[in-house]
A = this chain, B = another copy of it.
Amino acid sequence: MAEAGDYVAVVSPSTPPGPGRPGGGELGGGTQASQRLLAYSDALLSIIATVMILPVAHTKIHPDQKLGESVQQLLATKIAVYLMTFLIVTVAWAAHVRLFQVIELIDDVLALLNLACMMLITFLPYTFSLMASFPDVPFGIFMFSSCSVVIGTIQAIIVVYGFHHPYLLSHQIQESENQAFYKNHILKIILRGPTLSFFAAIVSFFFIPLAYVFLGLVIFFPHVSHLTKWFKSKVLGQEDEVPLESFTSYLTEPLSKERVEAFSDGVYAIVATLLILDICEDNVPDAKEVREKYRGNLINALSEYGPNFLAYFGSFVTIGLLWFVHHSLFLHVTKATRLMGLLNTLSLAFIGGLPLAYQLTSEFAEKSHNETEAIQVSCVTIFFASIFQFGIWTAALFHERETLHPFARYGGKEHALMFAKLALYPCASLAAFFLTCVVSELSTEIFHLMQIVVPFAFLVLRIFVRVGLVALKFLFRPRKNVSEEEEACLSPSETLS
């Protein structure tokens, strides 16, 4: 490693890389901007996080079985595997984001090291499946932990390599006199997970539950430590300014907005694609069957799949619009705090569950009892996916000066519209859920037609919001001190426009 690395430095002594070099990508002497490497890593990580829903969705549920029991069976192992994989990959992704906030330029050695790292991260879901299938055998935990340790080692090598070639580092660190401090700090952050996994690997041979505790710590430690800090500052008094300082400090700034967007895009894209994959594998009629059963009439054969197509379009519309809401939200976000990152991860985890919901609703069409439950599972999934999106927005409003664009803050002219956009899906899914309880005959067809109608709601939302604001203005004009949220965003917008 070190040889090849030194060599890169030797080859290019005549062209020290500098900011004023032409051509965005190539900086001479094998040094390159890292955007595309990061975009590729984001795509890989988001897909690997989400794709593990497929084994869940493809679990064959016996038609005679009641869905309630089968869902419980599924819940036991496969959904757990999916959720844990998703969270673990997200933790690995967050570490990766941190790492490449420090190292801004790459060369061939770093690119190859990063690929090796990616290879091991994509292998994590497999080790996790092993763990879930054989929870009482230490070997699964051992494999998972070793993978994690090797990933940590490679990332540590990347850090050491980066600090050995300071021109690769971010400008801020390059100019700082305290490079050694930064190096130790970032190493500490990156090696935290692998160290815990290392202990888990050793402990796994003696006492397995303790090993699981260690692994749980890997996932939740960063979030828990941040949350306790946050709650402490809130409980001990209104020290709003203290945690905010940390946002402006470079190394504790949690996630770059671009990479959160790229990761989210990957998840939404793969989820939308998994749907059509199922359609293509399951719903192309067999040539022989068409000839014998439908006398060669393809249209009749296809009409049997009608509900599946409806389910496909309904689900695609839902995923597309949830992406649209996410997109609208992040247009207004200027900086993503750690809490917003966590809420985004949770939202994405439920988005990843949508193929399962699709599978259920398309499979249990026309089977009265299961049908209702399938719709309920869909509603719950959509509700949580959208309510966590709403949570991102709420979290952003807490520190709106740092995190939000002026248009979207309280009183901004886009505030009310944003609120309406984010509230649409939680309300709609809740309404659909309660409809299934009241109307016992609600069919999946009606549900999917409802899904397909929603985009038109988005199109007329601006008009609704405008009318609503005018109505509110009219209603509340006499009383001046109104504290309602709608009013808060109304009156200053009046002064703005």
What is the interface of chain A, defined by CB distance below 8 A to chain B? 1, 4, 7-8, 11, 14, 23, 25-26, 28, 30, 32, 36-37, 39-40, 43-44, 47-48, 51-52, 54-55, 58, 108-109, 111-112, 115-116, 118-119, 122-123, 125-126, 129-130, 133-134, 137, 139-140, 261-262, 265-266, 268-270, 272-273, 275-277, 279-281, 283-285, 287, 290, 296, 298-299, 302, 312-313, 316-317, 320-321, 323-324, 327-328, 330-332, 334, 405, 407-408, 414, 455, 458-460, 462-463, 466, 497
Contacts and interface: CB of A to CB of B under 8 A. Distances in A.
B298 A139 contact: yes
Contact of A262 (B23, B39, B317): B39
A331 B105 CA distance: 13
A264 B312 CA distance: 26
A134 B300 CA distance: 14
Given A11-B466, A26-B407, 4 more contacts: A23-B334, A47-B47, A111-B327, A126-B279
Nearest to A283: B126
Contact of A321 (B7, B115, B269, B280): B115
A304 B385 CA distance: 40
Contact of A316 (B119, B265, B313): B119
20 contacts: A4-B463, A32-B331, A39-B265, A40-B268, A43-B265, A44-B273, A47-B47, A47-B270, A47-B273, A55-B280, A108-B458, A112-B458, A115-B320, A115-B324, A123-B312, A126-B283, A130-B302, A133-B287, A137-B296, A266-B269
Q: Count copies of this chain in the complex.
A: 2
A129 B284 contact: yes
